[in-house]
Amino acid sequence: MDSEKRRRQLAREKFERQQQRRVEAQQRARRRNTVIGAALAVVLLAGGAAWAGVALAGDGDKKVDAAAASTPSADPAASAPPSAEPSPAKADPASVKGCKAPAAGKPNGKTWTKEPELTVDTKATYQAVLETNCGKVTLELDAAKAPHTVNSFVFLAGQQYFDHVPCHRLTTDGIFVLQCGDPTGQGSGGPGYEIKDENLEGATYPAGTLAMANAGPNTNGSQFFLVYKDTQLPPSYTPFGKVTGGMDVLKNIAAGGVVGGGSDGAPVAGVQMAKVTAAKE
């Protein structure tokens, strides 16, 4: 096996280990929650689902699977090559082409106890626009193949749920994605409800794919990822659209690298979505 294939294999294996640790952590958390007294029942109902169902791949403590630092590989071939200049120890948007400091504001932090009513037109095309501090990314949403996922995304955008929410995870070795949609910025947040997987049969993840992050089967919430370079993943992440504009924005973010170096963590670009809109074309 040549070194490039070996590197990609190691990246996929690492991703799958992270996913398994995330699922196990969720199971432990759920077991803990079952013994919490009735006095906390209301709190759990309102917020307990927030940590469930929002990660592309993550370690046992952080959901994402995305904001977490990468686990060192036993094989040097799996590590990113050294950079000529070390990555900053914290986000530095001004150092990344096309990026600037995020606009002032905070996520509204809304949550809901159940999935929104299905109201999208499955025969129509929907367009979404992500206005970030690094530029605009436009998306086409596929309501025919992933109606519940698109319905949820359109609903959350309409509730301004994504406004001022970061894209907290960037992966740059073997898996090439930018992950967004968690108001906490830690990979543990979500809208309070989960939706089932869709459109998985034969799913692939070429550059330009828009797909849901998760913490296991049928745990989709608000976190999603954008693929900026062809990526090999198991068909476990609901594809629900594609990038139609702004691939240069994503590539600039990727070129900026990960905070502190490495290949999996918070982007140096300090990406934040100032505003997200979604509507029927």
What is the DSSP secondary-structure string of the chain?
--HHHHHHHHHHHHHHHHHHHHHHHHHHHHHHHHTS-GGGHHHHHHHGGGGSS--SS--SSSTTSSSSPPPPPSSGGGSPPPPSSPPPSS--GGGSTT--PPPS--------SSPPP----TTSEEEEEEEETTEEEEEEEETTT-HHHHHHHHHHHHTTTTTTEE--EEEEESEEEEEE--TTSSS----S--B---S-TT--B-TTEEEE--SSTT-B-S-EEEESS-B---S-S-EEEEEEE-HHHHHHHHHH-BTTSSSEESBTT--EEEEEEEEE-
For residue 55, pLDDT beyond 60: no
The span from the CA of 237 to the CA of 204, in Å, is 9
CB 213 within 8 A of CB 225: yes
The span from the CA of 86 to the CA of 170, in Å, is 16
**pLDDT mean across residues, the chain:** 80
For residue 46, pLDDT beyond 50: no
For residue 106, pLDDT beyond 50: yes
- Print the domain residue range for 233: 3-280
Instruction: Give the per-residue pLDDT at 81.
Output: 32
Indicate the pairing of strand 169-173 with strand 264-265: antiparallel
Instruction: Give the per-residue pLDDT at 11.
Output: 72
The span from the CA of 46 to the CA of 41, in Å, is 9
The span from the CA of 177 to the CA of 108, in Å, is 25
Where residue 153 sits, what CATH number does that domain have?
A: 2.40.100.10
Flag the least confident range among 23-27, 77-81, 97-101.
Answer: 77-81
Q: How many structural domains are present in the chain? A: 1
Instruction: Give the per-residue pLDDT at 10.
Output: 75
Q: Around Cβ 236, how many Cβ atoms within 10 Å?
A: 17
Query: pLDDT tens digit string along 225-236?
Result: 999 999 999 999
CB 84 within 8 A of CB 261: no
Query: Global pTM?
Result: 0.74
Residue 162 backbone zone (phi > 0: left; psi -120 to 50: alpha; other: beta): alpha
Instruction: Give the per-residue pLDDT at 111.
Output: 97
* Average pLDDT value for residue range 191-202: 98
∠ CA 146-186-251 to the nearest 5 degrees? Answer: 65
Instruction: Give the per-residue pLDDT at 2.
Output: 72
For residue 126, pLDDT beyond 50: yes
**Cα radius of gyration rounded to whole Å, the chain:** 18
Instruction: Give the per-residue pLDDT at 61.
Output: 35
Query: pLDDT tens digit string along 57-86?
Result: 433 333 334 333 333 333 333 233 333 345
